[in-house]
Amino acid sequence: MLALEEILLPAGDGQSATPIRLLKADDLDAQPAPARAWAKASGYEAAPGDVLLVPGEDGALASVLVGAPDDDTPSLATGALSRRLPAGLYRFADMAGADGALAALGWLLEAYDFARYRKEKPAPARLICPGGVKRADVLEQARAMWLARDLVNTPVEDLGPAELAAAATGLAADFGAQVDITTGEALAQGYPLIHAVGRAATKARAPRLIDLTWGAPDAPKLTLVGKGVCFDTGGLDIKPASGMILMKKDMGGAAAVLALARMVMAGGLDVRLRVLVPAVENVISSASYRPSDIIRSRAGISVEVGNTDAEGRLVLADALAAADEEAPDMLIDMATLTGAARVALGPQIAALFTPDDDLAAALGDAARLQDDPLWRLPLWRPYMEEMKSPLADTSNVGSSGHGGAIIAALFLSRFVKRAAHWAHIDQSGWNFTARPARPKGGEALAVRALFAHLKERFGKE
């Protein structure tokens, strides 16, 4: 597999590179005569996304025409070219108003190939970085996204809690960050919900809390929390086979926050970064936690277990409580938390929950500009009634089965009291079908939108 730097080459005159021209139907008449003639002979009308390879007099590829989107919405769509075009070197000669950075990033995201267990795909086409685009920034974003995809795609046999901790430790080493791992009795005492969910696993795959810190201690505090359930059987409330087949992706929130952390550190944002990942396997043994168990959380809130398959919110609750103790300026948690969010929005859009209208608006703007969609759902407080327990402070599930994504977000909100700003992202962590710049498989939704907002808020430029 080519390295990222070999796929996106530094900007230059690029005269040896084959030109790519993004254009709309009205622009066809402005193309050189040979290209116009070939387009007419081929019946090419420059519909959005349509590609035409234009030969030269010698029969070699002379240029590429690509139909631009109908509107000016920022898009990664041109990323598909890195796998659709013949091997070779290309440059954008006419971008028809498209965002050069997104075009370059999309090219790299489409080039991703998870080949750990099979033969690699043929090498993607290479691209000269568009003029005015900071190549280093694009490379770092792509590197972070590739990291997240690798983690989600790796099956639990090779990515349990220990391996997830090793990935975080490796990331920390790259940027001079510190990592502390809490396990065993210290975990049971300090993070009882995390311990309860993961205690059924074998000693080699025991639960742990990963705690990464980076940046100046006196900088604004940015804390990221990611659900690290490396595999979810559902516990004693066991999932059917169809519901378990993709549960290697249940640590998609952890992968997403590690990707976001990489972007933050590589971008040198002026923050005191903390990343908390509760890493567990929700498996079945004689040590499994049970429906109707009551567990007192790190925050002191007692939780009655209504369903052992609602484990993600339990491990997040303890991690959020630990994060909230420091009263961070910004607290973001990410998780593959509920099927209900997928029912509401589908797998391509991340669900956003926050009580902060200004933050929601800013993230919405960033999502549009980055072609990284998210959609705000309400923290509808009356639904808190559904989590009432006659024996504990709260249940971990609602009583009606309705509004599951909202119920889960409301449960988490009980553990966030001191953070100045809080956002909860419920995302699928998986591309079920291939789309431009989004190959089928593991994915980290909303990460690029979040980073764009964080860069604007905490960037040094």
412 touches 422 (CB < 8 A): no
pTM above 0.75, yes or no: yes
Tokens 């090419």 — which residue?
A: 44
For residues 243 and 314, the answer to whether their CB atoms sit within 8 Å is: no
Looking at the DSSP assignment, which residues form a beta bridge with residue 21? 65, 94
pLDDT at 14: 67
Active site residues: 239, 313
pLDDT on residue 194 = 98
Whether 217 contacts 272, CB under 8 Å? yes
Q: How high is the pLDDT of residue 42?
A: 95
Q: Say how far apart CA 338 and CA 56 lie, in whole Å.
A: 53
In 3D, which of 246, 260, 8 has the Cα closest to residue 109? 8
pLDDT the model gives residue 150: 98
Walk along the chain (461 residues) and give the pLDDT tens digit of each residue: 789 999 999 998 667 899 999 998 888 998 999 999 999 999 999 999 899 999 998 999 999 999 988 777 899 999 889 999 999 999 999 888 889 999 999 999 999 999 999 999 999 999 999 999 999 999 999 999 999 999 999 999 999 999 999 999 999 999 999 999 999 999 999 999 999 999 999 999 999 999 999 999 999 999 999 999 999 999 999 999 999 999 999 999 999 999 999 999 999 999 999 999 999 999 999 999 999 999 999 999 999 999 999 999 999 999 999 999 999 999 999 999 999 999 999 999 999 999 999 999 999 999 999 999 999 999 999 999 999 999 999 999 999 999 999 999 999 999 999 999 999 999 999 999 999 999 999 999 999 999 999 999 999 76
Tokens coding 261: 């952390």
Distances (CA, A) of 91 to 13, 131, 287, 380, 426: 9, 10, 59, 49, 37
Question: What domains appear along the chain, each with residue ranges and CATH number?
Answer: 4-133 (3.40.220.10), 140-458 (3.40.630.10)
What pLDDT was estimated at residue 25?
85
Q: How many CB atoms lie within 10 A of CB 160?
A: 23
pLDDT the model gives residue 57: 87
Alpha helices in 286-417 (DSSP H): 312-324, 339-345, 357-370, 404-413
Distance CA 169, CA 181 (A): 10
CB of 114 within 8 A of CB of 153? Answer: yes
